[in-house]
Amino acid sequence: MIKESSSNALNKAFLLNSCRVNGALDIISGRWKALILIHIFEGMNRFSLLKNVLPTISDQALGKQLKELEANKLLTKEIIAEVPVRVDYHLTEKGLALMPILTNLSEWYDL
């Protein structure tokens, strides 16, 4: 967490307000976010399933990334009253709209 009055925080705020691309990149940046979104899109929509396909991510990091993606309205969390309780994650319309963009980024990277 950065101090609100630091030059780093002020620069970040300026960049986010100056260019919508910076805002979009800020939402999807992070070591795991793109992979998490892709795996949820492909049906790995539970914490345990995500852990299986991302074995090196810590529980804490996965939970944090899921919360941030939910806060940015890229996914929703559905709590299913079973024993034990089950939580499924689903991409929102905004999250689904991001999938072709991530595909294009992947193809661009390979150029």
Integer angstrom CA distances of residue 34 from 2, 25, 46 = 23, 11, 16
Tell me the domain boundaries of the chain. 1-30, 31-109
Question: What angle, 0 to 180 degrees and rounded to 10, lies between the N-to-C axes of helices 93-109 and 33-41?
Answer: 120
Indicate the pTM of the whole model: 0.85
pLDDT in tens, 17-34: 888 888 899 899 889 999
CATH assignment of 31-109, among 1.10.10.10, 1.10.340.30, 3.40.50.150, 1.20.1440.230:
1.10.10.10
47 pLDDT band (50/70/90 cuts)?
Answer: very high
- Residue 58: predicted pLDDT: 96
- Residue 1: predicted pLDDT: 63
Give Cα 66 to chain centroid, integer Å: 6
List, as one string, the DSSP characters of 68-108: HHHHTTSEEEEEE--SS-EEEEEE-HHHHHHHHHHHHHHHH
Question: What angle, 0 to 180 degrees and rounded to 10, lies between the N-to-C axes of helices 7-18 and 20-28?
Answer: 120
